[in-house]
Amino acid sequence: MRRDPRIMGLVRLVLAALHAPPGAGRIALALAMGLLCHLVFAAAVLAMIVAMFFGMSESMGRVSWPWAALANAALIVQFPLVHSALLTARGGRLLARLVPGPHGATLATTTYALIASLQLLALFVLWTPSGIIWWRAEGAVFWAICTAYAGAWLILVKASFDAGAEVQSGALGWMSLMARQRPRFPDMPTLGLFRVIRQPIYVGFALTLWTVPVWTPDQLALALSYTAYCLAAPRLKERRFAARHGARFDRYRAKVPYVIPRWRRDDAQ
């Protein structure tokens, strides 16, 4: 049986962390950052699932209208702006300085995932609902849409795993610190859903936006805004991949479509 290199890489990282020389301060920092990152990550995902399930009609934001429209717009734009800015060279240097001491660079991926999780948590918890509900699924239609919603989340989870679970979850940084080694990023993803399209994470995210059982002006604004982000943002990601992997990425890009799978005669053979 062929061993999955993604799983083997994660296993090696765990084993290195378990057998690293002791260091109370380093281990305490790594565990604290890991625990904080994963708790906030889980809270953000849960908030996102629940908020969109109700079409953004149930949230804790209480800004009065019309100022709520500005507050909600700010919540929408803050995620893609900060998320993308931190992926630049200047953003990477900032991430390395956010944790004081000598381990900031090692923890940069964990810090990045923590910030992204806080951003998503703020978006879905602090949103001020409009109070307008256009449509609510019922009966068999409700269960069909719920199945599609669950399927979209499964696609997103699978794509995140295919891209490297340790990077997507923020585990790479704190586990590398535990292992007293520099973070080693997974290879360019080409397996799993990445065999079919180049951007399955963004496609999965977009699908979760449109497969909800309750539709409101709030959900439509969110879906339109973040679908545009899911179509445009990967272009910046692919520039980084092209610079890092060169001709190898060019060959992959020529073979695998961007977000819409294409049926080719040789796929059926």
Query: What is the gyration radius of the CA atoms in the chain, in angstroms?
Result: 20
Higher pLDDT, 259 or 24: 259
Q: Does residue 169 sit within a domain?
A: yes
Angstrom distance (rounded) from CA 112 to CA 125? 20
Band the pLDDT of 261: cuts 50, 70, 90.
confident
Q: Above 90 in pLDDT, residue 13? A: no
Distance of CA 243 to the CA centre of its chain: 22
Q: Does residue 268 sit within a domain?
A: no
Condensed to tens digits (0 to 9), the pLDDT of residues 124-169 reads: 999 999 999 999 999 999 999 999 999 999 999 999 999 888 888 8
With contact defined as beta carbons under 8 Å apart, do 90 and 137 qualify? no
- How many distinct structural domains can be found in the chain? 1
- The tokens describing 217, both together, are 């002006």
Run of H or E including 200:
helix 200-210
Q: Does residue 111 sit within a domain?
A: yes
Q: Above 70 in pLDDT, residue 21? A: no
Condensed to tens digits (0 to 9), the pLDDT of residues 223-251 reads: 999 999 999 888 888 888 888 889 998 99
Band the pLDDT of 184: cuts 50, 70, 90.
confident
Mean pLDDT of the chain: 87
With contact defined as beta carbons under 8 Å apart, do 188 and 249 qualify? yes
Angstrom distance (rounded) from CA 267 to CA 82? 39
Q: Above 60 in pLDDT, residue 8? A: no
Can you give the pLDDT at residue 10?
A: 47
Higher pLDDT, 68 or 164: 68
Q: Does residue 207 sit within a domain?
A: yes
Residues of the chain with pLDDT > 70, as a percent, come to: 88
Domain hosting residue 180, numbered range: 5-260
Mean pLDDT throughout 203-209?
A: 96
With contact defined as beta carbons under 8 Å apart, do 52 and 208 qualify? yes
